[in-house]
Structure 1
Amino acid sequence: MRRDARAARVKVHWISLIAVLLALTAALAIQGYTHQLTSTDEDSRPAGDRASAVAEDPTGEPILDTRDGVDTAAPKDGSLALTFDDGPDPVWTPRILDVLEAHGVHATFFLVGTAAAEHPDIVRRIIAEGHEIGTHTLTHADLAGAPDWRTDIEFDGAQSAVAGAGGITTSLFRPPYSSTPGALDKGTWDVVEDAGARGYLSVLSTLDSRDWERPGVDEIVANSTPPDEQGQILLMHDGGGNRSETVAALERLLPELQQRGITVTTVGASADLAGTVRATTPVEQFRGTVFVSTLWVSAAVVALIGIGLVIAGIVMVVRAILVVVLAAHHRRLAKQRAKRRPWIYDGLVSVIVPAHNEAAGIEAAVRSIAASRHPVEIIVVDDGSADDTAAIVEALRLPQVTLIRQANGGKPSALNTGIAAAHGELIVMVDGDTVFEEDTVARLIQPFEDSAVGAVSGNTKVANRGGVLGAWQHIEYVVGFNLDRRLFDVAECMPTVPGAIGAFRRSALKRVGGVSDETLAEDTDLTMALCRDGWRVVYQEDARAWTEAPATLGALWKQRYRWCYGTLQAMWKHRGAMRQKGQAGKLGRRGLTYLLVLQVLLPLFAPLVDVFAIYGLFFLDPMRVLAVWLGFLAIQLGMAVYAFRMDGESLKPLWTLPLQQVVYRQLMYLVVIQSVFTAIAGNRLRWHRMKRYGSLRVPPATANAG
């Protein structure tokens, strides 16, 4: 029953994530289709680019009714139907409306659906001032040869946008990139027939102002002036670019036409067409409102993601600069300390090794510690192992090793048992899957010369770094963990002394009550407790320990899931540090904030980044998207090279870094997502013990080099 309950919770985690990603993908797809594919430039390009002209309209009249056969119509003599395409535009449409109102003229506006949805207030003004509405597709798409699914979207979407924005429906339609009846080609005729089947009248033009070319006011006026009294349909534009020349031309053209006695009006009025526009039914209004709202929401989502990406990019760049600068400062301080005479501590150092089913690596771990140049006592606490861990330790017969057996109580219990049995004032804690170099202990205890230091973190290295997964973890340890520890040291806000290698003052441990079992990250919990008690926690980069990393993705998931969840627990437990002063305040306002932003919030945002990147490849400039990705990869590579040089590591594993960004990073943010879901749900995660592989070896004396 418990297993079923856990499975159900996991399903909720992933169902929620998938639902969010699907909703995001839908929003991006809508935004990408409706905006990135929209183009209103050069609206009146020559139609003959597609096919030769055909004579389906033998009269040459501009209004085509193909709803039942083929009927045509034209404006009455002495009239001019004034039409505008590609709007509404927030700048130019209101100015054009002002000119029309000043001269008492009504016109027909063929609206692009996406623009209508973005500016419903302008659509409502157009209708309120008595002008006529037609549609110009949803995204100004050339429908000649378009697949049926896109044609459906363009017609239905445009009508829904007009309904949602203005509360009306229209039977007037103008195909984008169309012009006069004489230029009607096969592709456009197919669109006209399709429009008729959908209940539309298709409206072409007889006069083209060519204002989209911006040829100058005089030429626009000349192109727009009828040569005689024959009825005309004039094509102008209120959107798609700078229409200042159109506004100026209208101010000259309208008085001239009125002086000639030409009636300037709408398409419907000029051709005595009744019922071109009607009010929506409740169903049509609902559909239109939902459609417009969907476009608004998708636009808002994309805008928020864009803002988030900018913020995330700034944070990543600032973090890179900060980490590199402070790491360099930490290295300078370390070199200055190295020039001084080493601190000689003649006391005993107690090394505690908690062990539960560590038979695969316990011999290598204990032997490496026993080979330390500094005198140590080794206390191995066998925490209810079901394998030969205890027997292996006994068989070593090393004089400085003490074996304590206890019933399984967990790692914190084993550590506290070891602390109680230890004789040294300085206590080193090391995992049973970790080996030391000969000088590790001696180097690790050097910072205790400063009486304010309560704990020291060593430099953890991945021992089994062969293969791509091992290389990825090796990079993460060197670049992520150790660079951050240098930053934390300088900023005096170290949140974690790793269980693989850490040293502590007995008095400091006593003051905080030993190792707590209240979280799954006992090392982080303990370190934060020490900081809140006023102790400094520092990083000793030359005190190296070699640990066995997970060798499979499943094992890695379990380990990082426990780490992440435990860290969240510790952050919540010690949130009070945000309000404290001194060393505790540094942990809270510096350390916890850094962890929250870099290890919680950014990973939670990471899936959106990946989905947006895919969106960019399809709907934005793919070269620009690729350039941004390569730029961030270059930053990561620069940090990696710097960190590897600081640690004296070979740069060869860095060839896997691009793959790490594509695969490993996704695994890590999925771990964070599941951990956060688990924490929010209030579920207590059980301990996930990592499988051991027996890959550890006692490091040779030459391991100290570099």
Structure 2
Amino acid sequence: MSRRHPRRRQSPRRPRRLAAPPLRFFMPLSLLACLLALMVLRGLATNEVFHDTQIADSADKTTVPENLLTGGPVIDARGEKNDDPVSYRIPDKTVVLSFDDGPSAEWTPKILEILEARKVRADFFVTGASTARNPDLIRRIVADGHEIGLHSFTHPDLAFQSHARISWEMAQTQLALAGVAGVHSSLFRPPYSSNAAALDDWSYPVIKYLGARGYVTAFIDHDTDDWKRPGVEAIVQEALPTTPGAGELILLHDAGGDRSQTVEALGVLIDKLQADGYRFTTISEALGAGSATTPVHGFRLWAGKGYIWATQLALHTLPVLIGLLAVVGFLNFGRFALMLVLAPIHARRARRQDAWGEPVTEPVTVLVPAYNERECIANTLNSLAASDYPIEVIVIDDGSSDGTADIVEEMDLPFVRLIRKVNGGKSSALNAGIAAASHDIVVMMDGDTVFEPSTVRELVQPFGDPGIGAVSGNAKVGNRDTLIGAWQHIEYVLGHNLDRRMYDMLGIIPTIPGAVGAFRKEALDAVGGMSDDTLAEDTDITMAVLCEGWRIVYAERARAWTEAPASLQQLWSQRYRWSYGSMQAMWKHRRAVFASGPAGRFGRRGLPLVVLFGVIAPLLAPLVDVFLIYGVLFADAGLTLTSFGGFLAIQAVLSWYAFRLDHEKPWHLISLPTQQLVYRQLMYIVLLQSAITALTGGRLRWQKLRRTGEVSVPVEA
């Protein structure tokens, strides 16, 4: 008679405080966000991001004061002059050479050499994008005594832009100037502008808006149209003053295309005007004003330096990212090609009745390690009771605290033996079962898995070939009626079982799933049994058996139905352990690469493929999504979406083919788009987190998933 214990009075529950997510959870997301930010910085520096090619047509001039339309090329609308702007002309016998759109790594140095040789100073109206790309040239321009002006950041027509966009364009350009040369400039020239007479109701508000913020606007007296490449003579002729002796502010370009004619014309123009008695200077000096540039200190200086450093990093990182993206494409399409070629060959072999020689009929031992499986263990054993193959079943209760062993005893199945042991982990439980097994072939399954009546028979038939040391079965998701279950169902059919067909034909199956696999005891004894060195004992033992020279094959008709995680949190925990454990197993067997014999064959042929397809490609795959987001938001959205749609179409065709080979109904593929857009990203982050954990020396512990026991063999099976 059992003793009854008095009930304890339960104290009221306090609300549980949510623990802060671990740092490693945020690291993968932070890494991907940083990559996207670097791409955006690079896009800003190359005028891919926020680039606007609209150009305003000429409008009415009702709001433009007459004195500006007939005045000089320099307009001051700062401070008190904002309501009544004034304009200034370049003094007689004075020429200001101004260069727009630069600096250019190709043409600006040649222009600077000509100016230095003739001791001429000029004005350079630079874009922020070009400044960020060519910091050394900006420093040289300042060091040579030339004057810097702003020409916006991305070179849009500011007449079309909001005040917020105009402010951003100027602030970003000032930030770039501060980071490169430690200066800000109060001199500005609007993109697509000409002389002051062209001011209209579109462009005048921009001049007033920026004047109120401290900018002096410099237009031109003469546009050489050098960007049209009319010829050296034509450029020189357009630059000459129309009125002898009059001062001139001349527009040239040192970037934006082929500027060879500009470079050639520049020396000719300077020599000609100097011969006519003209002096060359900057805008500020010509007007007798103070310098347009002022030094920057403190936070603004360091913010600019940080911006330039990040931009330079982005410019040098992108070629690497593109190269890695090419690697991802090569690996994925290479894997697809291998699957499409090898999977049909495997399927034809599987249909042959004599593929493995004489049928295997000897009894086998089925091991069921169980730890707190009270919800599932009865279903598992009942499925084994329906087996059409002679088996003995050993349930190894690994210190369960929920009465799992009691349920096994109460079922009192004659073919089941129960071993109770203190908790030591799954590997320890399996080793206890192997030691107690009565037969030469050992089938291993999980305590939350159910077999079909034919599963064991189909699983052991390949052992008719004496060279085969282990067989992988076909693990199926039993609870596939939820969205998360459907996603995992697609992954199992496509990502696991189709992969196993490919690896089988290559002779390098890296993992026999714990849910359904079989081993020769001889092979297990040769490698010392199951090891607890890793969290992926199934991958570890499979690689060890391969290194001993045994063949491992995949039996597609040996189906087992397992309960997949039902929540994202449980899914995360399971895949985190799988990914981390698989990396541990690969690292453990790394010496096989340099070994001789069977271990060397696996190490040099199988292990690199497993690393490439199982680690490198998935780790780099988030680049596809980073480029997708960048392309949709900042580049050619149509081309980007078309390319991604093509990738999804290939994935859909391959998935349909995998379902057809596995005799699965394809209607679950309706969730494929969401699987690709949500589930796939989740698995990327899991793998990234696992890699970060491995690289930082973190340790994981085995995490038990909650089970419901709802999985049984489907009727159609």
TM above 0.5, yes or no, is yes
The corresponding residue for 1:486 is: 501
CA distance in 2, matches of 1:236, 1:449: 84
Contact 2:366-2:394 at 8 Å conserved across structures: yes
CA distance in 1, matches of 2:193, 2:154: 15
The corresponding residue for 1:322 is: 338
Structure 1's 622 and 214: CA in aligned 2 closer, same or farther, altered over 3 A? same
Contact 2:56-2:159 at 8 Å conserved across structures: no
Structure 1's 251 and 441: CA in aligned 2 closer, same or farther, altered over 3 A? same
CA distance in 2, matches of 1:244, 1:607: 43
Q: How does 1:61-140 map to 2 (within 5 A)?
A: 61-68=72-79, 69=81, 70-100=85-115, 105-140=120-155
User: Comparing 254-263 with 86-95, which one deviates more in the overlay?
Assistant: 254-263
- Per-residue CA deviation, residues 49-76 of structure 1 (Å, 9 max, x unaligned), is 5975611644521112233423421112
Structure 2 residue matching 1:138: 3-state secondary structure: coil
Contact 1:478-1:643 at 8 Å conserved across structures: yes
Q: Percent of aligned pairs with the same residue?
A: 47
Contact 2:239-2:250 at 8 Å conserved across structures: yes
Contact 1:492-1:586 at 8 Å conserved across structures: no
Structure 1's 290 and 667: CA in aligned 2 closer, same or farther, altered over 3 A? closer
Structure 1 vs Structure 2 CA RMSD: 3.2
1:577 corresponds to which of 592, 612, 615: 592
User: What's the CA shift for 1:192?
Assistant: 2.8
User: What's the CA shift for 1:11?
Assistant: 2.1
Structure 1's 646 and 257: CA in aligned 2 closer, same or farther, altered over 3 A? same
1:13 corresponds to which of 21, 24, 30: 24
User: What's the CA shift for 1:243?
Assistant: 2.5
User: What's the CA shift for 1:649?
Assistant: 1.7
Q: Which amino acid aligns with 1:565?
A: Y
1:331 corresponds to which of 336, 347, 362: 347
CA distance in 2, matches of 1:529, 1:328: 28
Contact 2:42-2:315 at 8 Å conserved across structures: yes
Structure 2 residue matching 1:115: 3-state secondary structure: helix
The corresponding residue for 1:597 is: 612
The corresponding residue for 2:315 is: 299
Contact 1:578-1:585 at 8 Å conserved across structures: yes
Structure 1 residue matching 2:203: 3-state secondary structure: helix
Contact 1:81-1:108 at 8 Å conserved across structures: yes
Structure 1's 353 and 615: CA in aligned 2 closer, same or farther, altered over 3 A? same
User: Comparing 224-233 with 384-393, which one deviates more in the overlay?
Assistant: 384-393
Contact 2:370-2:400 at 8 Å conserved across structures: yes
- Per-residue CA deviation, residues 101-144 of structure 1 (Å, 9 max, x unaligned), is 56664432211122123123333443455543322122224334
Structure 2 residue 572 is the aligned partner of structure 1 residue 557: yes
Structure 1's 231 and 678: CA in aligned 2 closer, same or farther, altered over 3 A? closer
- Per-residue CA deviation, residues 533-562 of structure 1 (Å, 9 max, x unaligned), is 232222122222222222222322222222
Contact 2:72-2:196 at 8 Å conserved across structures: yes
Structure 1's 657 and 56: CA in aligned 2 closer, same or farther, altered over 3 A? farther
Structure 1's 682 and 259: CA in aligned 2 closer, same or farther, altered over 3 A? closer
- Per-residue CA deviation, residues 74-119 of structure 1 (Å, 9 max, x unaligned), is 1122333221110111222233345545666443221112212312
The corresponding residue for 1:568 is: 583
The corresponding residue for 1:670 is: 685
1:359 corresponds to which of 368, 374, 382: 374
CA distance in 1, matches of 2:52, 2:697: 53
Q: Which amino acid aligns with 2:58?
A: G
Structure 1 residue matching 2:549: 3-state secondary structure: coil
2:444 corresponds to which of 404, 429, 449: 429
- Per-residue CA deviation, residues 11-31 of structure 1 (Å, 9 max, x unaligned), is 221343454345445434433
User: Comparing 470-479 with 270-279, which one deviates more in the overlay?
Assistant: 270-279
CA distance in 1, matches of 2:370, 2:444: 11
The corresponding residue for 1:370 is: 385
CA distance in 2, matches of 1:591, 1:50: 74
Structure 1's 52 and 478: CA in aligned 2 closer, same or farther, altered over 3 A? farther
Structure 1's 358 and 222: CA in aligned 2 closer, same or farther, altered over 3 A? same
User: Comparing 355-364 with 494-503, which one deviates more in the overlay?
Assistant: 355-364
Q: How does 1:97-496 map to 2 (within 5 A)?
A: 97-100=112-115, 105-144=120-159, 146-166=161-181, 168-215=183-230, 217=232, 219-229=234-244, 230-250=246-266, 253-258=269-274, 260-263=276-279, 265-277=281-293, 286=302, 288-335=304-351, 337-339=352-354, 342-387=357-402, 389-496=404-511
Contact 1:412-1:522 at 8 Å conserved across structures: yes
CA distance in 2, matches of 1:487, 1:6: 44
Structure 2 residue 530 is the aligned partner of structure 1 residue 520: no
Structure 1's 473 and 78: CA in aligned 2 closer, same or farther, altered over 3 A? same
Structure 2 residue 65 is the aligned partner of structure 1 residue 55: yes
CA distance in 2, matches of 1:220, 1:40: 28
The corresponding residue for 1:630 is: 645
CA distance in 1, matches of 2:187, 2:89: 14
User: What's the CA shift for 1:423?
Assistant: 1.2
User: What's the CA shift for 1:622?
Assistant: 0.9
Q: Which amino acid aligns with 1:67?
A: R
The corresponding residue for 2:42 is: 31
Structure 2 residue matching 1:405: 3-state secondary structure: strand
User: What's the CA shift for 1:322?
Assistant: 2.3
Structure 1's 388 and 285: CA in aligned 2 closer, same or farther, altered over 3 A? closer
- Per-residue CA deviation, residues 627-685 of structure 1 (Å, 9 max, x unaligned), is 22212212221221221122122221111111001111122223223333443454442
Contact 1:56-1:189 at 8 Å conserved across structures: no
Contact 2:56-2:160 at 8 Å conserved across structures: no
- Per-residue CA deviation, residues 149-195 of structure 1 (Å, 9 max, x unaligned), is 44343333323433443455544221222221111124433333344
Structure 1's 652 and 265: CA in aligned 2 closer, same or farther, altered over 3 A? same
CA distance in 1, matches of 2:529, 2:513: 16
Structure 2 residue matching 1:494: 3-state secondary structure: coil
CA distance in 1, matches of 2:60, 2:588: 69
Between the two proteins, the alignment pairs up a number of residues equal to 695
Structure 1's 316 and 169: CA in aligned 2 closer, same or farther, altered over 3 A? same
Structure 1's 6 and 609: CA in aligned 2 closer, same or farther, altered over 3 A? farther
1:619 corresponds to which of 634, 639, 649: 634
Contact 1:88-1:115 at 8 Å conserved across structures: yes
Contact 1:47-1:178 at 8 Å conserved across structures: no
User: What's the CA shift for 1:573?
Assistant: 2.4
Structure 1 residue matching 2:479: 3-state secondary structure: coil
Instruction: List runs of 5+ in structure 2 lacking aligned partners.
Output: 1-15
User: Comparing 684-693 with 45-54, which one deviates more in the overlay?
Assistant: 45-54
User: Comparing 525-534 with 600-609, which one deviates more in the overlay?
Assistant: 600-609
CA distance in 2, matches of 1:134, 1:442: 82
Q: Which amino acid aligns with 2:218?
A: V
User: What's the CA shift for 1:248?
Assistant: 4.5
- Per-residue CA deviation, residues 486-519 of structure 1 (Å, 9 max, x unaligned), is 2222222222111111111111111222222332
Structure 1's 119 and 650: CA in aligned 2 closer, same or farther, altered over 3 A? same
Structure 1's 287 and 368: CA in aligned 2 closer, same or farther, altered over 3 A? closer
Q: Which amino acid aligns with 2:371?
A: H
